[in-house]
């Protein structure tokens, strides 16, 4: 996804405390795969409990937004899933055998059931069906192909190599597998893989029960549809909700809708208490340990819960508010990203931490808005503020989770050979990175 970064005039406005509204998306972004269901609410609750996500009800159905590269799921009113007609199924990962057993037991308790699709006795994965009739697999531990992909490791689809190449170009996701007519793609930030099994592909006899949902910025919908058609899609119709419905080269329907605009504005000191609106929860099963400029992977469970709403300890909302106030009081500039009035992300840059060096002191995006461009948008705007203030370098002490570190590496940061002592003293376990502005 490409981001429209504000021009120099927008930085002047931010430095003066004025706000502006900028477009978020230039190209199409995959926001979710939708599943028809006779009882979409029940299906959504099943998957929310299994994946640890929040159900967001909207006019289109029940959405379980993805975060940190995880694919979003939406459940809409319609036909139930049907073995043989379903053209996609989900693969969940497990950390060890106990975790796999726990995941299966939880799914059964929530209303899932075992399913026989011809698997062999020696197969180590477990095949289940959800309450809506869609099959999914709980993959055995130690699967190298899905390592680091997160809990929702893969969306496995029926499809040709041609359709895999189409979606790679359409989403800007690189191919991570291309052998024997089988393909797979993955976001540059990691997360859920999407794979196509190659021929033979069963003939398509009815509209699909599962569809990709893409979003674009206001004013970009038709251009995005034209681009997708140039890549091999065909136009079908315009839906009642205004979405443009297309079909990929294999005939699978998908939609292109207009996304929610994001407003970025400077936050006053009195606004900083709104940090309580940020949902910082994250499943973390891979971190990096820094040794100079080298990063070593470590696996385990370092998942982050929500900030505690009460109290004054290190992981409370009050502590985060005080941190933000301290940054602003020392000359920092705080920006908030808002979606329809809701705080989606917050970031702070402190110019001149040292002569010529700015600090990206705080950057958090709420779980429902991760992998939507909000973090990139705030990062870009904070870079421009630091540059406009005269700094030539910016540093950050990053939470060592794989998704966070990969985000900064994707923004041009590199591990520093030696962290600034004042930052290392505060966060010795963080990954310390920097880049030229």
Q: pLDDT tens digits for 163-186?
A: 999 999 999 899 999 999 999 999
| Cα–Cα distance, 257 to 222 (Å, whole number) | 10
At 53 the pLDDT is: 86
pLDDT score of 391 more than 60: yes
Average pLDDT over residues 394-399: 96
How many CA atoms, within 13 angstroms, populate the side-chain half-sphere of residue 2?
Answer: 8
pLDDT score of 12 more than 50: no
At 193 the pLDDT is: 97
Burial grade of 281 (CB within 10 A; 0-12, 13-18, 19 or more): middle
Which of 258, 278, 293 is the C-terminal boundary of a domain?
258
At 261 the pLDDT is: 77
At 68 the pLDDT is: 66
pLDDT score of 6 more than 50: no
Whether 401 and 265 share a structural domain: yes
Whether 185 and 307 share a structural domain: no
Whether 44 and 171 share a structural domain: yes
At 1 the pLDDT is: 21
Q: Using one digit for the tens of pLDDT, what is the confidence trace for 208-226?
A: 999 999 988 777 899 999 9
Give backbone dihedrals phi and psi of 287, rounded to 5 degrees, phi first: -125, 170
At 4 the pLDDT is: 24
At 180 the pLDDT is: 96
Question: Per DSSP, what are the bridge partners of residue 61?
Answer: 58
Whether 297 and 247 share a structural domain: no
Within-domain flag for 222: yes
Within-domain flag for 14: no
Within-domain flag for 41: yes
Q: Using one digit for the tens of pLDDT, what is the confidence trace for 103-145?
A: 999 999 999 999 998 888 888 999 999 999 999 999 999 999 9
Residue with tokens 């359409």: 170
At 410 the pLDDT is: 84
Quote the tokens at residue 315. Answer: 């992981």
Helices and strands in the chain, H and E counts? 9, 26
Within-domain flag for 18: no
Residue in 117, 87, 47 with CA at minimum distance from that of residue 210: 87
How many CA atoms, within 13 angstroms, populate the side-chain half-sphere of residue 437?
Answer: 25
Which run of H or of E encompasses 284? none
| Cα–Cα distance, 289 to 302 (Å, whole number) | 13
Average pLDDT over residues 38-67: 89
Whether 110 and 85 share a structural domain: yes
Within-domain flag for 402: yes
Q: Using one digit for the tens of pLDDT, what is the confidence trace for 355-386?
A: 999 999 999 999 877 766 788 889 999 999 99
pLDDT score of 437 more than 90: yes
Within-domain flag for 4: no
Whether 248 and 274 share a structural domain: no
Instruction: State the residue range of the domain holding 422.
Output: 261-436
pLDDT top residue among 430 and 59: 430
Whether 163 and 196 share a structural domain: yes
At 66 the pLDDT is: 82
Within-domain flag for 23: no
**Which of 237-244's residues contact partners 24+ apart within 8 Å by CB, and which partners?**
241/59, 241/60
pLDDT score of 16 more than 60: no
Within-domain flag for 10: no
At 9 the pLDDT is: 34
Average pLDDT over residues 190-205: 93
At 231 the pLDDT is: 95
Res. 388 pLDDT band, cuts 50 70 90: very high
Residue with tokens 């997360």: 191
CA quadruple 357, 358, 361, 366: dihedral positive or negative?
Answer: negative
Whether 153 and 83 share a structural domain: yes
pLDDT score of 27 more than 60: no
Which run of H or of E encompasses 375? helix 374-388
Question: Per DSSP, what are the bridge partners of residue 35?
Answer: 75, 210
Q: How far apart are the first and last CA of the chain?
A: 22
pLDDT top residue among 286 and 333: 333
Average pLDDT over residues 19-44: 73
Q: What is the CATH number of the domain that holds 427?
A: 3.40.630.30
Which of 231, 258, 285 is the C-terminal boundary of a domain?
258
At 57 the pLDDT is: 82
pLDDT score of 83 more than 90: no
Q: What is the CATH number of the domain that holds 96?
A: 3.10.180.10
Burial grade of 93 (CB within 10 A; 0-12, 13-18, 19 or more): buried
Whether 247 and 201 share a structural domain: yes
Separation in Å, CA 397 to CA 3, 144, 228, 337, 415: 24, 30, 39, 21, 10
Whether 304 and 385 share a structural domain: yes
How many CA atoms, within 13 angstroms, populate the side-chain half-sphere of residue 91?
Answer: 22
Q: Using one digit for the tens of pLDDT, what is the confidence trace for 348-359?
A: 999 999 999 999
At 23 the pLDDT is: 31
Whether 319 and 383 share a structural domain: yes
Whether 298 and 199 share a structural domain: no
Which of 226, 241, 258 is the C-terminal boundary of a domain?
258
Domain count within the chain: 2
pLDDT top residue among 85 and 328: 328
How do 193-196 and 342-354 pair as beta strands? unpaired
Res. 86 pLDDT band, cuts 50 70 90: very high
């Amino acid at each position: 996804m490409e981001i429209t970064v504000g021009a120099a005039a927008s930085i002047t406005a931010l430095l003066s405390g004025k706000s502006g509204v900028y477009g978020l998306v230039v190209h199409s972004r995959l926001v979710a795969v939708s599943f028809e269901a006779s009882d979409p609410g029940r299906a959504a609750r099943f998957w929310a409990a299994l994946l640890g996500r929040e159900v967001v009800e909207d006019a289109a159905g029940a959405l379980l937004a993805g975060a940190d590269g995880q694919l979003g799921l939406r459940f809409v009113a319609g036909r139930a899933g049907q073995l043989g007609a379903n053209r996609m199924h989900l693969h969940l990962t497990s950390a060890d055998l106990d975790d796999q057993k726990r995941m299966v037991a939880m799914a059964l308790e929530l209303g899932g059931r075992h399913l026989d699709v011809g698997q062999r006795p020696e197969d180590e994965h477990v095949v289940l069906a959800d309450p809506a009739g869609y099959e999914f697999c709980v993959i055995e531990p130690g699967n190298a192909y899905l390592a680091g992909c997160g809990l929702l490791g893969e969306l496995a689809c029926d499809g040709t190599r041609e359709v895999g190449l189409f979606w790679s170009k359409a989403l800007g996701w690189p191919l991570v597998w291309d052998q024997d007519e089988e393909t797979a793609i993955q976001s540059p930030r990691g997360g859920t893989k999407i794979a196509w099994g190659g021929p033979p592909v069963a003939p398509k006899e009815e509209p699909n029960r599962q569809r990709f949902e893409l979003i674009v910025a206001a004013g970009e919908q038709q251009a995005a549809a034209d681009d997708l058609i140039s890549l091999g899609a065909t136009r079908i119709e315009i839906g009642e909700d205004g979405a443009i419905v297309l079909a990929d080269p294999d005939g699978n329907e998908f939609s292109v809708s207009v996304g929610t605009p994001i407003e970025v504005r400077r936050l006053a000191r009195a606004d900083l208490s709104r940090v309580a609106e940020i949902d910082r929860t994250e499943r973390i099963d891979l971190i990096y340990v820094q040794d100079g400029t080298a990063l070593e992977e470590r696996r385990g469970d370092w998942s982050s819960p929500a900030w505690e709403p009460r109290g004054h300890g290190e992981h409370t909302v009050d502590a985060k508010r005080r941190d933000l106030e301290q940054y602003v009081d020392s000359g920092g500039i705080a920006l908030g990203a808002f979606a329809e009035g809701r705080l989606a992300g917050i970031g702070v840059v402190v110019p001149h931490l040292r002569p010529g060096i700015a600090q990206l002191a705080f950057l958090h995006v709420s779980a429902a808005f991760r992998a939507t461009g909000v973090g990139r948008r705030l990062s870009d705007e904070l870079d421009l503020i630091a540059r406009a203030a005269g700094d030539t370098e910016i540093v950050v002490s990053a939470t060592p989770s794989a998704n966070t570190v990969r985000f900064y590496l994707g923004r041009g940061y590199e591990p520093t050979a030696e962290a600034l002592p004042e930052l290392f003293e505060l966060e010795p376990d963080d990954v310390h990175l920097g880049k030229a502005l």
